[in-house]
Amino acid sequence: MDLDTTRAKNAYQQIIGDFEQQKTNVLVGTQMVTKGLDFENVSLVGIVNADSIIHYPDYRAHERAYQMFVQVSGRAGRKGKKGKVLIQTADPTQVIFDKVIRNDYLEFYEYEITQRREHEYPPFTRMIKLTVKHMDQELAQKAAILLTQELVDRLGRSQVLGPEAPYIFRIRNFFLQDIVIKLSREHTALKQAKLDICAALDVVRDQKEFRQARLVADVDPM
């Protein structure tokens, strides 16, 4: 069950109805399966390739993975019946699995907030994601590299991450490159950083070969 198989009219209801009435015994799907569904006779839930969720290039990857694993686990053994949850991973020693198995949200929170403090991620810093878009992949990369160099010169290497292509690197014929900037929450530092970012963006915009590039800023990206 995914966006493609549920695109047709009533397709979603048909798939869910068949599974609920036990016309089909196995339901394979994307994260859609975790969203608010309540099946009576589910005794086994499997999460395939959990590592791809945990290692997604985003500082909130563990937070989202924990939420999803707990949600999916809740699909098994409902209505008073015991169920089983299997999680596929190449590294079962990862901290997140221990917290999921013990359903210990508070311990997970303490671990995650400590990691964010140590590595200077929100809520201890502000973040700005800059996305460079161009219909030519090579020019998108070159513009992103120049922008990164200008930002590093002004802000320092430790505050600038990237550039790198996002997981979905092409949208509507535009190739994408992301740059992430970590900023102090202190007002004066934030104000100066914004001036530095604008100056770096102007350098890229002034280059003739990048005139067709689009530069998009997302403050505190969700």
What are the chain's domains?
Answer: 38-118 (no CATH), 126-219 (3.30.70.600)
Say how many C-beta atoms besides its own lie within 10 A of residue 184's C-beta. Answer: 15
What's the one-letter identity of residue 148?
A: T
Q: What are the CB-based long-range contacts (under 8 Å, 24+) for 190-194?
A: 190/126, 193/155
Question: Cis before residue 163, ω within 30 degrees of 0?
Answer: yes
Q: How far is CA 121 from CA 102, 125, 147, 156, in A?
A: 26, 6, 22, 16
Confirm whether pTM is higher than 0.85: no
pLDDT (tens place) for every residue of the chain, 222 residues total: 777 777 888 888 888 888 888 888 888 888 777 666 677 778 888 899 999 999 988 899 999 999 999 888 776 766 667 788 899 999 999 999 999 999 999 999 999 999 999 999 999 999 999 999 999 999 999 999 999 999 999 999 999 999 999 988 999 999 999 999 999 888 788 888 889 999 999 999 999 999 999 999 998 887
Report the distance separating Cα 136 and Cα 120, nearest Å: 34
